[in-house]
Every structure is written in C-alpha cells, then in structure tokens.
Chain A
Amino acid sequence: MDFGPFLLLASLEGLVQAAVLSLTALGLCLTFGVMRVVNVSHGEFYMLGAVIAWWAASILGPKYALSGYLIALFLAPCIVGLLALASERFVLRSLNYEPEATIVATIGILYIIQQTVLMSFGPDAKPVNPPFYFRIDFPWFGYSGYKLFVIGAAIVVLSGTWYVLARTRVGLIMRATQLDRDMAQAFGIPIKRVYAYVFAAGAMYAALAAVLIVPIRQAHYLMGADPLLMSFIVVIIGGLGSVRGAIVAAVLIGMSDGIISMFFSPTLAKMVSTLLVALVLVFRPQGLFGVKTS
C-alpha cells in the first residue's frame, strides 16, 4: 500500500482508538481530579458496559440491532452508574476516601465485578452486531462506517462534557470541589453528594465508551485490563485531574498508537506510550496540563 492511503488508514484507526480512550480516560480523570481516588476498577465498569450491550442486543435479536443498541446506549451507563454509586456509598465512603485504602478497595471491586461476570456471562467472547452496517469503499481499502460514527459520537460527548464543566452550575460545583474541598464545603457545597455523582459519572463514561466500541470488538470478561492501563497512561501524561490534559493526551496516545502500530509494530507503540509516561514522570511529574502541587 502506498504511503498516502496507509497514513489515512493509520489515522482513522488512531482516531477510533483516541475516541474511545478519551472517554474512558475522562472518567478516570474526573474521579481522580475531584475525589483524589485512583479507581482501579475503572476497566471493569467499561467491561460491564460492553456486557450489558451484548445482553440488550441478544434479547432483542439481530433484527432489532438498532433498537438494542440504542437501549444499551441508555441502559448500560445507567446500570453501571448505579453500581458505581453503590460502591461509592458502601465502600469508598466507609474508607473516608483514603488514597491507599481506596486503591486496595477498588482492586477488590475489580475482582468482584470480573468474577461475577465470568460466572454469569461466561468466559467466551461474544459479538454484538453494529446498529447499522456500511462499508466505505476507499480506492485502496474498505473501512467500516460504524467506526466513523464512533469518532463522531465521542466528539459529541466530549463537547457536552466540556459545556457542562465550563458553563453550568454543576460544572462550577465540581471545579470548586476539585480546587479546594474544605473551602467548597464551607460555601455549602454537599461534598459527599458531589463525590458520589462524580464517581458514578466516571464509571458511566467507561460504560458509554464500551457500548460504542463493542460492535467493533466483542464483549469478553477480560476486556477491561487494556483500557484501564491505557487510561492510566493517558491520565498521567495529561496531568492527573486535568480534563483538558486527558483529552489531549488521549488523542496523542491514540494517534501515535494507531500510526506506530501500522508503520512499525503494535508492541513498539505500547513501548512508546510507556516510555512517554516514564519521561513525563521524570521531567514533568504534574503532566502536560497538570497543576504543580506543593
């Protein structure tokens, strides 16, 4: 394949990767930014979203792929959000959001979710039909139209998030809590409720990303590991807690992963991302857009 089309395909693949990554990383970043909680079970919320999408699709059958998909798009974030709400209420709150304790606790949540899915959903990878199917025929190769939809959907969700954070009262409360928890509380912001909703929202982003990606991949009980790792990489490079940083880093890592994977090898792409993390940690520990804390 010539260089031009090769680059086009690499960029498209990179953009799909970036789209999904920015959503999952955004969730992780919100939880960390506002709550200072490192949520290790984030990947499992993602996996759960995919499993729910499969479940909705398999109940309705292949004839109603579109309705199944739309239902999943609504239901998966809701169910996962409720579950996250419950784990925040009963686990994280009881630990008083201690950083070390919450890491261990979320590892526990990770295993509980993973093993419950293994016992109920089973160990097989299960496919979900895309809501629509068309193949874009470039002169050099074909490409799934649904993948372009994923990129578009991610842009819409990200813009919405930006609007909420920057322009609404909800966003203001979240930013205030992130900036100074005690001061925010002194001004009458219900910190605990903010925490609960933020944790739920973080998980919902992961679930949403999974519903978007599952027709391209498949639902599998071990699928959470990779997005978790990648999200951490993105959040560290972007700056812990910085939403803008997370999105920029997701696009950067997604694109570089797509392009390096294709021109060289996927293993090299993973090595480059890991190396970037190391470099950022050494030379700019607060990340690209993070704020230095004393």
Chain B
Amino acid sequence: MTDVTNKLPNSGRRSAIKKVGALAVGAAASPFIPALSGYAFGSDAPIKIGMQAHRTGIGASYGRWYERVATATTKLINEEGGINGRPVELIVEDDGTDPKRGAEVIEKFATLHKVDVAYGTLFSHVVIGSSPRAGELKLPYFVVSEGHHVASGKLNRYVFQPGITDVKSQVISMAPWVSQNLGKKVTMIYPDFAFGHDHRDYFSAAMKQQGGEVLELIAIPPTESSFTRYLPRIPRQTEVLYHVMVGPGVLTFVKEMGQFFGSSRPEIFGFIDSLEAVDFATPQLEFLDGTHFWEAHPRYAQQNQSEFDRFYRERVGVDENGASIDDPGDISTYSHMFGCWETLFILKQAMEASGYKSSTPADKQALIEAVESMEKFEHGRNHPQGSKVFNGKIHQSFGHQHISRVENSRLNVVHTTSIEDGMYEPEGDYTQMPL
C-alpha cells in the first residue's frame, strides 16, 4: 500500500503544526477570547458533528449527560462564531449501547447525514465495534471512552481520544497511592468486557510493581442484576477491595456489597463508574463513608474550585453537588462527561489550524494531521478538568487524576496525581498508518 501522507506537500503539514502551536499559546494566554460577532467568514453551511449517543441500553445514564454536555458545548461554540466561521450542527443518533448498532450509526453518519466527524462514544465495546467501520469510511472518529483501546494502537488512524484519559494511565497513576495508603493485597471486581479487562490487566500489573498483590479477580457479566453470589469469592485476607462497575445494576451492586460486609469491610477503592449518575445520599449507601473513589473531575465542587469548573457547571446545567440544576435527583456522570466538552474544543482548534473547509479527503487528512501534531492542552475554560498532554502517535491524552474520600455522603478530594504519574511507553504509532 502506498503511504498517502508522503504525497502531501510538507509545507501544508508544517504550517498546520505552526497554527496549532500558535493557537495553543493563544488559548493558554487568554482563555476568554471575546466572542466573535456572528460567523466571521466562510460559508454558512454548518460543520456537522455526528454524535453516537447511548440514549438507550445499558449506557443510558451516561448517554443522557454526554448529549447534554455536547449540546451545551456546541451552543457555546456557535455563540462564539462557530468553527472557521461556520456554525456547528450536532446530529445525534442512538446506538443503543450496542456495538452492532454503533457500526450502523457510523455508516449512517457517513452516508446519510454526511457528517464531517463522528464523536462522543463512551462504552468500549461500542467503540471497538464502530472503529473499523469509521476507518473504512475514512470518517474521523473522536471517542470519549476511557478505554485503553485507542492508546493500544490496535484501532486505526481515524480514531482519537484527546478529551479524556485512558484506563491504563488512570490506574498506573493511582496504584502507588492505593498501595501506600490502603493496602497491598487487592481483590478486583470488574465488568467482563474490554473496559473491565483494561482495569484487570493494568491495575494488576501496576500493583505488582508497587510490591502489591492481586488475590482474586472477579469478572461480572455486564448485564448482571444480582451480585451477592460473587461476593463470597473475596478472600478474607483482602486488604483493599477494588471495584469498577457499569450499567443499570451499579446501585444494586453497591447496596449488596454493603449488606454483605456490614461494618467489617476491608478498605474499598472504587472507580466512580460504580456510582456515576447515582446519588451518594441514597439509603443503604452509608456504608461507603470512609471509602475512596477515583474521580477524573470531582463531582462535588471542591474548596479550590477553579473558575473554569464553575463556568463549565453553569453551562452544562450542573450544581455544586454534581446534580442537574433542574432536578437535584438527576445526578450527572461528572467524571466522564467533561470529555465531551474538551473534545469539541480540541476539534475546533484542530479544524481551525488545518483550515478545514469541507469533508473532502484532503481536508480530513489535514485535520487528522493537525490533531496528531497537538502536544498540550492547558487548564482553562476549554479544558476545565485540567491540563493535559497529548500523544499524537497513540491519539491519546494524559492528565491529572483525583482520589476522593466519601465523607458524609460527599466526595472530597484527598490526592491528585501529576500528569507524569500516568505516563507510559506508547505501544503503537498511528502516524505510520496510511490515511
């Protein structure tokens, strides 16, 4: 196969890189660029972003919030003049949190809606199911998934994850803290599919490096609705119980864990995924007091809350407890959905740097190369979760992680990792793949 990238004039790529650099510096210097009046230049035809949303199926709580955040971000971008002077239109299609339908949605985006990019998928099995089709259709595909699949180098050059960190990075950055503060003998409970396997593989390895040991691995089918039967497999000498669960059964899982252990529980370290969209003040969750959770973006506004986080909450309609402003019982998926916000701003930045005009192969190539040439996103309004380092070779961002402690049904951050804590050697290089 010929490497198409070599045929591109070098100057195009170089200038794109320069523009990205300039924009990044500009964005860092003044995060609040005054809004442009109307759409400054270019045609009025909108840039179409196809959002693959988990409106139904097991990812519905995430899907609802992802869609809200994407809508809020699009609105903000449009208020400020759109992308390259063109308005942005978000086209949302439900994928039912199902890999097969995910691939069909990608196809629909490319052929029916003729979108410029596809965007916004969370569940790893849907990402893995959709990516090959996105690659075949040469449709840039920006996921907000957390899984390690993008960074693993096993997908293709059209798939990016710039707005959220991946599981491998998250767990290796936190393993030292867990082993030093909670214990070295760990039992893991995780969902039995790609996302859970990332946890299993990378956290086990990271704990071993810290001199720790994983006693038992308990995989739970993602559609499971009853969990007590798995709990006796937790060995008695377990010092830390590590849990990460997704899907409609999460609350049942945590409640049954409480019934099982009562007051004689080991230390518990959970991924907030086990309780995203769930209120900590739900009856029977009191037993979680004193346990720890990973959070990417603290759900409860902390004392040192940044102005960016405040602005972001206001725009996406979330109060300081992480619940919807309209309905305090509607809890957000706060630790994930910021990725939708940040990804859209990255997309805007890259489209502007590459001078993206329409969905021609040349423009798409330039867009992909522009994203690949990005290196850093500064903490700011467009990146309210925190600064990030982007590795263009593996299409993945690296950022800060938080460990929070449950105190009076509220999460308070007790430790924040550095970006370097979560860095690892790249396992692939997408830039070597043909476009």
Query: Whose C-beta in chain A lies nearest to the C-beta of B233?
Result: A262
Which of B60, B221, B228, B282 has its CB near the most chain A CB atoms (within 10 A)? B228
If A13-B228, A13-B229, A267-B221 touch, does A62 touch B283 (CB 8 Å cutoff)?
yes
Stretch at the interface among A97-105, A135-143, A201-209: A135-143
Closest beta carbon of chain A to B255's beta carbon, Å: 8
B349 within 8 A of A: no
B262 within 8 A of A: yes
Q: When the two chains form their complex, are residues A218 and B228 in contact, meaning their CB atoms are under 8 A apart? A: no
Q: When the two chains form their complex, are residues B259 and A144 in contact, meaning their CB atoms are under 8 A apart? A: yes
A70 within 8 A of B: no
Closest beta carbon of chain A to B393's beta carbon, Å: 37
CA of A159 to CA of B251, assembled, Å = 33
CA of A62 to CA of B64, assembled, Å = 25
Q: When the two chains form their complex, are residues A123 and B56 in contact, meaning their CB atoms are under 8 A apart? A: yes
Q: When the two chains form their complex, are residues A266 and B262 in contact, meaning their CB atoms are under 8 A apart? A: no
A87 within 8 A of B: no
CA of A10 to CA of B248, assembled, Å = 24
Q: When the two chains form their complex, are residues B277 and A266 in contact, meaning their CB atoms are under 8 A apart? A: no
Contacts of A258 in B (CB 8 A): 229
Contacts of A218 in B (CB 8 A): 225, 248-249, 251-252
Contacts of A5 in B (CB 8 A): 232
Contacts of B231 in A (CB 8 A): 141
If A142-B259, A142-B262 touch, does A1 touch B232 (CB 8 Å cutoff)?
yes
Instruction: Pick from A10, A127, A141, A267: contact of B251, CB below 8 A.
Output: A127
CA of A144 to CA of B231, assembled, Å = 14
A124 within 8 A of B: yes
Contact with B along A95-124 (1 / 0, CB 8 A): 000000000000000000000001000111
Interface size class of A (residues with CB under 8 A): 20 to 34
CA of A143 to CA of B232, assembled, Å = 12
Interface residues of A in 1-53 (CB under 8 A from B): 1, 5-6, 9-10, 13, 17
Closest beta carbon of chain A to B329's beta carbon, Å: 9
If A125-B248, A133-B284, A135-B262 touch, does A217 touch B229 (CB 8 Å cutoff)?
no
CA of A13 to CA of B227, assembled, Å = 10
Closest beta carbon of chain B to A154's beta carbon, Å: 16
Q: When the two chains form their complex, are residues A137 and B248 in contact, meaning their CB atoms are under 8 A apart? A: no
CA of A266 to CA of B228, assembled, Å = 12
Contacts of B236 in A (CB 8 A): 1
Closest beta carbon of chain A to B231's beta carbon, Å: 8
Interface residues of B in 198-239 (CB under 8 A from A): 221, 223-226, 228-233, 236
Contacts of A6 in B (CB 8 A): 232
A178 within 8 A of B: no
Closest beta carbon of chain B to A149's beta carbon, Å: 14
Contacts of A122 in B (CB 8 A): 60
Q: When the two chains form their complex, are residues A124 and B60 in contact, meaning their CB atoms are under 8 A apart? A: yes
CA of A129 to CA of B236, assembled, Å = 30
CA of A125 to CA of B251, assembled, Å = 9
Contacts of B193 in A (CB 8 A): none
A216 within 8 A of B: yes
Interface residues of B in 229-271 (CB under 8 A from A): 229-233, 236, 247-252, 256, 259-262
B57 within 8 A of A: yes
Contact with A along B36-72 (1 / 0, CB 8 A): 0000000000000000000111101101100000000
- Is chain A's interface secondary structure helix, strand, loop, or mixed overall? mixed
Query: Whose C-beta in chain B lies nearest to the C-beta of A9?
Result: B232
Contacts of B224 in A (CB 8 A): 266
Q: When the two chains form their complex, are residues B251 and A123 in contact, meaning their CB atoms are under 8 A apart? A: no
Closest beta carbon of chain A to B215's beta carbon, Å: 13
Which of B57, B232, B261 has its CB near the most chain A CB atoms (within 10 A)? B232
CA of A277 to CA of B107, assembled, Å = 40
Q: When the two chains form their complex, are residues B259 and A135 in contact, meaning their CB atoms are under 8 A apart? A: yes
A226 within 8 A of B: yes
Closest beta carbon of chain B to A180's beta carbon, Å: 41
Interface residues of B in 103-138 (CB under 8 A from A): none
Contacts of A274 in B (CB 8 A): none
CA of A266 to CA of B64, assembled, Å = 31
Interface residues of A in 127-177 (CB under 8 A from B): 127, 129, 133, 135, 137, 141-144
Contacts of A62 in B (CB 8 A): 283
Closest beta carbon of chain B to A211's beta carbon, Å: 16
Q: When the two chains form their complex, are residues A220 and B283 in contact, meaning their CB atoms are under 8 A apart? A: no
A76 within 8 A of B: no
Q: When the two chains form their complex, are residues B57 and A222 in contact, meaning their CB atoms are under 8 A apart? A: yes
Contacts of A142 in B (CB 8 A): 259-262
A223 within 8 A of B: yes
Q: When the two chains form their complex, are residues B252 and A216 in contact, meaning their CB atoms are under 8 A apart? A: yes
Contacts of A67 in B (CB 8 A): none
CA of A222 to CA of B59, assembled, Å = 12
If A124-B61, A141-B260 touch, does A266 touch B221 (CB 8 Å cutoff)?
yes
Closest beta carbon of chain B to A143's beta carbon, Å: 7
21 contacts between A and B (CB under 8 A): A13-B226, A17-B226, A123-B55, A123-B63, A124-B61, A125-B250, A127-B252, A127-B282, A133-B283, A133-B284, A135-B259, A141-B260, A142-B261, A143-B259, A216-B252, A217-B226, A218-B249, A262-B230, A262-B232, A266-B224, A267-B221
- Which A positions have Cβ atoms within 8 angstroms of B? 1, 5-6, 9-10, 13, 17, 62, 118, 122-125, 127, 129, 133, 135, 137, 141-144, 216-218, 220, 222-223, 226, 258, 261-262, 266-267
In the complex, besides A118-B56, A135-B262, 19 extra interface pairs with C-beta distance below 8 angstroms are A6-B232, A17-B226, A122-B60, A124-B61, A124-B277, A127-B252, A127-B282, A129-B283, A141-B231, A143-B228, A144-B256, A217-B249, A218-B249, A218-B251, A220-B225, A222-B57, A222-B58, A262-B230, A266-B229
For the complex of A and B, the 6 pairs showing the least CB-CB separation, nearest first, are A125-B248, A123-B60, A142-B262, A123-B56, A261-B229, A220-B248
- Which B positions have Cβ atoms within 8 angstroms of A? 55-58, 60-61, 63-64, 221, 223-226, 228-233, 236, 247-252, 256, 259-262, 277, 282-284
